[in-house]
């Protein structure tokens, strides 16, 4: 049981998760204001504003830098990991989302809107570079404010 206590009190786990949760809450709020309708699915979905993945890895890398040092090998690893995740969010997954949208359109036209009980492909998979940047900034700010707070608890 001591292991679980150590995991759940580890600042480098808790703070990035809080940044990710905050990003998801903001995402739901932005979607609710934009569409004038609450959608619970945005709370657990990928894509949209801001990028929760970027918030998580941004908070992780910043927290590692704050706690272990900006010249530490751990900070270098966390930063490279963050770069890969953000590149994937803005590049690969966004391209997959565009492809899904085109495939859905092709299927709609090919089937002449006949319903074959086929589930459409999910189109909102990735992020724009701006959504990734906002997520990153949210993660950095979360870590900057929360690491000192968690140090005193």
Looking at residue 39, what is its pLDDT? 74
Report DSSP letters for the chain, one per residue: -HHHHHHHT-HHHHHHHHHHHHHHHHHHHHHHHHHTS--GGGGS-SSSSS-HHHHHHHHHHHHHHHHH-TTSHHHHHHHHHHHHHHHIIIIIHHHHHHHHHHHHHHHHHHHTT----PPPPP---S--HHHHHHHHHHHHHHHHHHHHHHHH-
Q: Provide the residue range defining the domain that includes 108.
A: 2-152
Q: What is the pTM of this model?
A: 0.78
Q: Does residue 144 register a pLDDT over 70?
A: yes
What total of structural domains would you count in the chain?
1
Q: Which residue has the higher pLDDT, 108 or 78?
A: 78
Model pLDDT, residue 41: 72
**Mean pLDDT taken over the chain:** 84
The reported pLDDT for the residue numbered 31 is 81
pLDDT of residue 128: 85
Most confident of the ranges 96-100, 108-112, 138-142: 138-142
Q: Which is more confidently placed, 146 or 1?
A: 146
Which tens digits make up the pLDDT trace of 50-95?
A: 999 999 999 999 999 999 999 999 999 999 999 999 998 887 656 6
């Amino acid at each position: 049981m001591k292991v679980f206590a150590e995991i759940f009190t580890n600042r480098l786990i808790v703070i990035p998760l809080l940044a990710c949760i905050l990003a998801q809450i903001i995402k739901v709020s932005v979607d609710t204001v934009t569409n004038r309708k609450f959608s619970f699915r945005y709370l657990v979905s990928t894509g949209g504003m801001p990028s929760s993945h970027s918030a998580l890895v941004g908070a992780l890398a910043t927290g590692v830098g704050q706690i272990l040092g900006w010249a530490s090998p751990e900070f270098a690893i966390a930063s490279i990991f963050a770069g890969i995740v953000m590149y994937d969010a803005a590049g690969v997954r966004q391209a997959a989302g565009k492809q899904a949208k085109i495939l859905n359109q092709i299927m709609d036209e090919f089937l002449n809107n006949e319903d074959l009980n086929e589930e459409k492909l999910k189109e909102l998979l990735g992020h724009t570079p701006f959504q990734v940047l906002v997520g990153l900034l949210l993660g950095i700010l979360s870590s900057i404010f929360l690491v000192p707070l968690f140090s005193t608890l």
